[in-house]
Amino acid sequence: MTTESGDAPEDRQTISDRHADTAAEVVPDQLGLYIGGEWVESASGETFETRDPTTGDVLAELQAGNADDVDRAVTAAQTAFDEEWKQTGPAKRQKLLETIADRISANREAFAQLETLDNGKPINEARADVYLAAEHFRYFAGVTRSLEGETVPSDGPRQIQTVHEPFGVVGQIIPWNFPLLMASWKLAPALAAGNTIVLKPAEETPLTALKLMAEIDDVLPDGVVNVVTGFGPDAGEPLTKHSGVHKLAFTGSTEIGKQVMKNAADRVADVTLELGGKSPLVIFPDANLKKAVAITNIAIFYNTGECCTAGSRLFVHKDIAEEFLEQLTETAESLTIGDPLLDDTRMGPKVSTEQVERTLSYVEKARDAGATILTGGAAPEDDALEAGSFVSPTLITNIDHDHEAVQEEIFGPVLEVFEWDDYDEMMALANDVDYGLAAGVVTDDLTKANKAARDLEAGTVWVNQYNDFPDGMPFGGYKQSGIGRERARETVYHYTQTKSIDISLR
């Protein structure tokens, strides 16, 4: 359903016109590669298009970077590090990060609209992302001055001390589901630690990264941050293999993350990986149903389910399952699906038609296996949305836990539901996936909550809430969900090397 403030449903042309008008205002003028503080064309001269997933229309034409462009960017980053950045102290880096945060905040609505156009997320979610991106830079501005070494107690006349030094050039690859926010998650700690950067945004959603560089072009020295747009095999792969890149940070699928790790291993480069998830959400019988339904809604349908932390496997106790599922189904069917530029919209499109096909293929496999589709399982029946990449909220029951739709990350608004009455059996299933990024628990009993949180194999466990990311709380995965932690003070140490200095005092 597409509505605006209770008016009659909109037609396709109205939505298309709104998006075209907004794009004319917020799509940045500079769409080149950003290398050494300059906007340049790709070495090959090739370009690619980024499309609006709501309308299917072309938003912009961008430079398709390749290995030559990555090499140029790494050279620029190394030059900036050698000639200026490694001599830039923490006090100045702190001020620069604060300025970046201010620039994002000053342009928050334009950033949000651009993110919505390029990614499809509802405008209110995009606004939240922009706010969090600015706050992330502010957090790491404060962390910048806390990079401390230590004096190691020793016998004899000597002094042993440690210092933390930046790697130099780091390569960072970000996904398409939270483009600006993921860029801030990568850029802020790396800059705080004193590194220079080559950033490769997802080819589906490169626009906010380019706008960010346009807004802060006069803030950082030339070459400290470089952005190479393009496709994974052409630009991302060469970045992970480049001998001048001493640290890699990647957020994306586990499959690609493994390849990044293999490429880094060839030259023993350090890696931080934030990868896939298939997170369980456990509902205890004492849970408040209304609250539990609201938490489940946020866990699976926020950002159209395109969250690595999405609570996509629900374990609800049998005593409350029937009533809970009735309320959850009603909630899912009442979500306003439509133009993500409208404040009333609660679910926008997925990022691309390819992602729609991928999501619905899992639903079809579940259906073929005899699973029950309680609601959704297809595109919404709305002619106004026909050109967009939309999928209705989907609830699946009566499915085996070893089915691929349960075991693999769908990355869409699809929830598999399981009923339980034996805690140990339920917990065994909750942990019976290759992933361990996040989990959730809903109960009014703190003893049960604490036990479940300890028993769940996940890097983050939310209790009576979901998808909450306060700055300073470490974020990362167990098992095949990644290596390292982001968003916290310890993240800065992931972007440094520890040097021990042993001084004889004889």
Please give the positions annotated as active site: 274, 308
- The one-letter amino acid code at 498 reads T
Give the H or E element holding residue 420: strand 414-420
Residue indicated by tokens 């994974």: 232
CA angle 269, 274, 275 (to 5 degrees): 110
Could you tell me if 416 and 279 are in contact, meaning their C-beta atoms sit under 8 angstroms apart?
no
The structure tokens 């090499």 sit at 71
Query: Among 416, 428, 324, 419, which Cα is nearest to 376's?
Result: 416
What's at 260, amino acid-wise? Answer: V
Residue 424 CB-density burial (10 A; 0-12 exposed, 13-18 middle, 19+ buried): exposed
CA pair distance 232, 242, nearest whole angstrom = 14
Please state whether beta strands 247-251 and 478-479 pair in parallel, antiparallel, or not at all (unpaired): unpaired
One-letter amino acid identity for 327? Answer: Q
**Segment holding 123, helix H or strand E:** helix 123-143
Spatial strand order in the sheet of 496-504 = 151-152, 158-166, 496-504
Inter-residue contact 170 to 195 (CB < 8 Å): yes
Note the maximum CA span of the chain: 86
DSSP sequence for 129-140: HHHHHHHHHHHH
Mapping DSSP to helix (H, G, I), strand (E, B) and coil, where does residue 161 land? strand
